[in-house]
Structure 1
Amino acid sequence: MRTAPSPVIVLVDPQLGENIGMVARAMANMGLSELRLVRPRDGWPSEKAEAAASGALDIINGAVVFASLAEAIADTHFVYATSARERAQAKIVVGPRAAARALRGRIEGGQRAAIVFGPERAGLSSDDVALADEVLTLPVNPAFASLNLAQAVLLVGYEWFTSLAEGEQLPFATELGAGPATREAMAGLVDHLERELDEAGFFGTAEKKIVMSRNLRNILHRRGLTEHDVRTLRGVINMLSRKRRKDEAEGAA
């Protein structure tokens, strides 16, 4: 089994242990080694997953369970959300070959990256997609685009595995400059911004807040912010909020 650095595979709300096991088998076929699970429906560990893994027990035994997608990707710097349908979100959409090439450049540059797959029935929710940097979709027959989890992971993994043999040196890592922000740092920035905007009455109604918060996440994730960018923006937010509170206090005096 290949143990070189590779993208993390994240399964959100997987329903059947057998499907998780077949995903592990597909991962082992394609040199992917790290599996993370978000709220597996039938619990974990799973004997059915072990049986379906056909020997890929290192991946099954090493799988880590998380309570939310945000927690599962907190230590990563770049995230692809897989989707078989068009989303009403302003995100770059790529195929598996382009994604594999971009991921290889990032991982060779020392970043951690993840590919997120949704549950078998409905796929990822819009809120889950909003946590990703870009959307990864598979070029399959649009008249029958349904794939099971293992098939989807295998197709994406195949492009990853074959990209390793290309021997092409990508300049991506040298263009990044300062280290990219982790998902945890980005989540902290978004939560900080939402908190201050909420206090300032920016969102208005609860319904508007849901949509506007998602839009804010998409805007910030598209920017490819560095850790330094995040610290700077949080400093700006703190300064603006302090000034607002000062003005409010003086107005009330």
Structure 2
Amino acid sequence: MPEPVFILVRPQMGENIGGAARAMLNFGLDRMRLVEPRDEWPNPRAVALASGAGRILDNAGLFETVADAIGDCTHVLATTARVRGLTKPVLTPEQAMAEARAATDAGGRVGILFGPERAGLENEDVARASAIVTVPVNPGFFSLNLAQCVLLMAYEWQRHGMAPAAPAELDRATATEIEKLGDHFEERLGTAGFFFPEARAPGMKLAIRNMLSRLALTRADVQIFHGMLRQLTRQKAAPAASDEPET
């Protein structure tokens, strides 16, 4: 499936570009584009912070304008903490990546804009997006590091693409096996005098049968119970050691 393009607009520090690349690769994304990075490019500090994700930097596209960077995209999302009066849908990262998945499933290409560290995206940048993505953070301190924002978006992209885990196939016990286990419980507990007083015995036995059927036991579980019951009986039947000294 086509993956979204992560577009870093006028990033200021090579370290943050490297951190963003590392965050992307953590979640299987490798399409990065850069618009007017402030410092030299390629940037050795970016490579150092990428920590093994250098191939993303090697293949990153370099563009002069946002318009150029999003030119082949059919859907553009702008990450920003401030709506700034622009009338656009405002999405959480979860909602945005759900829409991004739907767009790529339909054959579209998604671009996600991330602004510079100091002030974020300008209105001119946001105006080119179809929707705004805002992380619901503390309103008194809404500043996110560039790599942190990239990480959140990459995580949500991967999460929405994960198929539900198939339940493990269990070797469930049959009704007959559970019935026999109930018989074993009744036998051993009856010998131990558990069903007392006698008038309550039928209700107690019924409760045990109900419990065993409710537990969704596997065949291994049933064998463990049988072994426990047998061992308890053996322990009770074993003669106590004599306290008399041998002569």
- For Structure 1 versus Structure 2, the TM-score category normalised by the shorter chain is 0.5 to 0.7
For 2:64 and 2:155, the matched residues in 1 are separated by 29
Matched residue type, 2:74: H
Deviation for aligned residue 1:5? 2.1
- Hey, which of these two has a bigger chunk of helix by percent? 1
For 1:115 and 1:71, the matched residues in 2 are separated by 14
In structure 1, the residue matched to 2:90 is: 93
Secondary structure of the structure 1 residue equivalent to 2:140 = helix
Matched residue type, 1:21: G
Secondary structure of the structure 1 residue equivalent to 2:120 = coil
8 Å CA contact 2:83–2:132 kept in 1: the answer is no
In structure 1, the residue matched to 2:63 is: 66
In structure 1, the residue matched to 2:15 is: 18
Structure 2-normalised TM-score?
A: 0.65
In structure 2, the residue matched to 1:108 is: 105
In structure 2, the residue matched to 1:170 is: none
Unaligned ranges ≥5, structure 1 = 168-253
In structure 2, the residue matched to 1:135 is: 132
Structure 1-normalised TM-score?
A: 0.63
Residue number among 47, 53, 57 corresponding to 1:56 in the alignment = 53
Percent of pairs with identical residues: 51
For 1:33 and 1:5, the matched residues in 2 are separated by 11
Secondary structure of the structure 2 residue equivalent to 1:41 = coil
Deviation for aligned residue 1:86? 2.6
Residue number among 144, 161, 166 corresponding to 1:164 in the alignment = 161
8 Å CA contact 2:73–2:110 kept in 1: the answer is yes
Unaligned ranges ≥5, structure 2 = 165-247
Q: Could you list the runs of 4 or more consecutive aligned residues of structure 1 that deviate by over 6 angstroms after TM superposition? A: none
1:119 aligns with 2:116: yes
8 Å CA contact 2:14–2:39 kept in 1: the answer is yes
8 Å CA contact 1:6–1:31 kept in 2: the answer is no
Matched residue type, 1:79: V
In structure 1, the residue matched to 2:81 is: 84
Which digits, 9 at most, give the CA deviation of each residue in 1:215-248, with x for residues without a partner? Answer: xxxxxxxxxxxxxxxxxxxxxxxxxxxxxxxxxx
Instruction: Report the structure number with the largest CA radius of gyration.
Output: 2
Q: How many residues are aligned here?
A: 164
8 Å CA contact 1:120–1:148 kept in 2: the answer is yes
For 1:86 and 1:111, the matched residues in 2 are separated by 25
For 1:86 and 1:11, the matched residues in 2 are separated by 19
Secondary structure of the structure 2 residue equivalent to 1:45 = coil
For 2:163 and 2:92, the matched residues in 1 are separated by 18
Deviation for aligned residue 1:68? 0.2
